[in-house]
Chain A
Amino acid sequence: MNNDIFKIAFRFVGLLVIQVFVMDQINFLGFINPMIYILFIFLYPFNNNRLLFLILAFLLGLVMDTFQDTGGAHAAACVTLTIVRPYLLKLVYGESYVMKNIKVLTTGIDRILLFLCLCVIIHHLVFYSMIIFNMSQILELLQLTLSVGLATITVSLTILLLIKPRRS
């Protein structure tokens, strides 16, 4: 149990440091900065205290907002992703995912990719609707979601493959 708390705290800080120091400086094609800090929400254990999870996600988003001066866009996207995560899990791993007591990292690569794509799409859609905040620019919203989302998925998948435990 203690081990779990330590792991979660380490991920929280570690992902934020990587995000602020490395990912926000990439500026690929001038505007593409992958948002890998959402891996925190992605990797959070299945059997969790939902209230604590929501508050942690909110704090994570708020820290990102202070660094990027985005008001509350990251926070809004993070809590939305957190609240819909159980439904995504049901969709990807079937109804009985809670019983199986598995971890996201130990599942097959196809499941991980599918789950990751769904998470990224939802997070980025909410995030960029907050950033753009204008219904008339919906095309730009979709364009940003797609391009930045692809970058996020690529970088996140690389990180996941690196930390994924080898099957013995």
Chain B
Amino acid sequence: MQHIINFLIKYRNLLLYLFLFSIAVVFTIQSHEYHRTTFIHSTGNVTGEILESRKNIYEYFDLDQQNKYLSEENAKLRMRLLALGDTLLGSESILIFSDSLPYSVVPARVIKNDYDKLDNFITLDIGSNQNVEPDMGVITSNGIVGIIDVISKDYARVISVLNSQISLNAQIKGTSTIGSLTWDGADPYKMSLIDVPRLAQVKKGDTIITGQQSTTFPPDIEIGVVERAILVDNGSRYEIEVRLINDMTDLGYVYVVKNRDTEAIKIIDTLQTNE
């Protein structure tokens, strides 16, 4: 007994170090995995408020660019609206269906954005008070941003598409070829579309859009442009390099998208065949 106590006293620094270090390693491992039991995240009240006040300061330097994005987006939406007015009866017909829109969209401000690590996260200034829930998709006018991960009352953390843990369903526009969109941690402007079958028709300059199978993102959102396609696995599959349309290093305002049918689709997907 005496020996044990002596040992503990003699090596107390080293033991404390090993204890703290292992806690830190456990937190790190958790942060590299795609699940939500993390304790260390940036959506706490104090952290969120500090990040928000920092954003308030630095926002002024980026107003020009954000203004440009918004006016471009307005033009795009106006074009769609005009096309819609042409095909439907008029604005009344939109109103009739308005309480059953398939997607609800909430605007949010990015208060923290990372893109220099292997697993990047973004913090938004909206949370459960604004009906944000985990697993909702986050988009901008130029493409996709990520998926909501941890939420608190006023803040939400987003798993950026620039995260090695994420794998998104994507599709080549104009065809039904699908693949998984992943990031390898190197270039914040590029992602790769993997598991594309060899028989797929891929050309440089083709557009990659979100797939129909995803319940997180609405279909047909443009993600990026094909830059290069190489055959891997003995020529059985393509690996396609995609240049993102969205500039992930310069995010100001984003939209959180909620799919009305997520619950229903989930229930149908997990149905068992009985009898």
Question: What residues of chain A have their CB less than 8 Å away from a CB belonging to chain B?
Answer: 20-21, 25, 27, 30-31, 33, 50-51, 54-55, 58, 61-62, 65-73, 75-76, 79-80, 82-83, 130-134, 137, 140
Contacts and interface: CB of A to CB of B under 8 A. Distances in A.
A133 B27 contact: no
B25 interface: yes
Given A33-B116, A79-B21, A72 B14 contact: no
A21 B54 CA distance: 6
Contacts of B26: 72
Given A20-B54, A54-B13, A76-B21, A71 B42 contact: no
Contact of B28 (A54, A68, A133): A133
Interface of B: 12-14, 16-17, 20-21, 23-32, 38, 40-42, 44, 47, 50-51, 54, 57-58, 112, 114-118, 120-121, 123, 157, 185-186, 188, 249
B57 A51 contact: no
B54 A69 contact: no
A135 B35 CA distance: 23
B157 A69 contact: yes
Contacts of A55: 16, 20
Contact of A54 (B16, B40, B58): B16
Top 9 closest pairs, chain A to chain B, by CB:
A71-B31, A72-B27, A72-B24, A76-B24, A31-B116, A69-B121, A75-B24, A71-B28, A83-B17
A80 B44 CA distance: 26
B13 A65 contact: no
Contacts, number: 112
Nearest to B33: A71
Interface of A is mostly: helix
Contact of A71 (B29, B51, B123): B29
A21 B41 contact: no
Contacts of A80: 17, 21
Given A30-B188, A51-B12, A71 B50 contact: no
Given A72-B27, A130-B25, A66 B44 contact: yes
A71 B27 contact: yes
Contacts of B185: 132, 137, 140
B68 to A, nearest CB: 20
A68 B47 CA distance: 10
Nearest to A57: B20
Contacts of B38: 71
A50 B9 CA distance: 13
A50 to B, nearest CB: 5
Contact of B24 (A61, A66, A133): A61
Given A54-B13, A75-B24, A131-B118, A69 B41 contact: yes
B118 A71 contact: no
Given A62-B40, A71-B32, A20 B20 contact: no
A132 B188 CA distance: 15
B46 to A, nearest CB: 9
Contact of B20 (A25, A79, A137): A79
B24 A73 contact: yes
A66 B42 CA distance: 5
Given A67-B42, A72-B25, A79-B21, A133 B12 contact: no
